[in-house]
Amino acid sequence: MKYNKNGTIVQRTKHFLLFLMTSGLLLATSCTDMQTDVQPSEPEQKLTPEQTNMKEKLKDTAVLMQQVLTQPGARSELRFAIDFYTKNRNLDERVAFAAMFDGQAAYKRSWEKAKAVNHSVSFAEAFHEATAQKRKGSSSSSFDLKAFLIEEDIELYFPYSENWEGEDVIPTLSYDPIDNEHVNEGWEPAGPKGKADSPVITSIENWQKVQVDDDYAYNHPTVITLQRETEILPPPVGGGSGGGSGGGSTGCN
């Protein structure tokens, strides 16, 4: 499974072809056993200060998701949103945080109608609760993570999500390391295969570090935090100074 700035095609889903996102993360080696001594990915390029800051924020977000996605309602809503945008907006198993926070997002009405169980905690509520708890013990409590995730177009990506169709799974959490195109660290929930019927996961001590790569993501439910990359459009035919930046619509408004 490869993400790069030009986009790529991989084989290995039930659809045979999966058009992957434009990000910069390549997951290419294999790791089948749970590990407790996994180190962050070795850098393959030198990052700018801005990239270093982005990498740190993506990691912080992945760690925070450990608490958010222990809530059954938050898990169900995220999965529903990813399925909705994949099927209705041609997005590739991903959804922007901005959509998850937006009470008027396109998927919300369908989500309310589709809920079989009246979960008391939504994704946005679980996120607010998790960030509030984090601020209590943090020296950087003034940082607005929610605003950062919206302004920087940060997304949640669930590769091979169809492998767990209809299952309530607590996913492994990982993030785009930016400086390594082959493998990255992730956190896998304790319990058999991360199933929701495993022991209740309430803190980071109940997660174990693993190496996340294509084989791992294919065999274990994995959610990755990453930044949606803006597409640079070519100048209009016939010349002129036009041109500019703009990404394809995320379908999240």
Per residue in 142-184, pLDDT tens? 789 999 999 999 999 999 999 998 888 899 999 999 988 779 9
Q: What is the mean pLDDT of the chain?
A: 75
Task: Work out the end-to-end distance of the chain between its first and last CA atoms, rounded to an integer number of angstroms.
Answer: 28
CA distances from 46 to 20, 52, 129, 225 (A): 24, 9, 35, 21
Would you give the DSSP letter of residue 19?
E
The per-residue pLDDT for 90 is 80
pLDDT-derived band at 136, boundaries 50, 70, 90: confident
Q: Which string of DSSP letters, residue by residue, matches 150-205?
A: HHTTEEEE-TTGGGGTT--B--EEEE--SS-SS-EEEEEESSGGGBTTSSPP-SGG
pLDDT-derived band at 217, boundaries 50, 70, 90: very high
Q: If you search the block for the tokens 């009470």, which residue do you land on?
A: 103
Would you give the DSSP letter of residue 231?
P
The per-residue pLDDT for 42 is 63
Q: Flag whether pLDDT at 198 surpasses 90.
A: no
User: What average pLDDT does this structure show over 15-26?
Assistant: 33
The structure's pTM equals 0.73
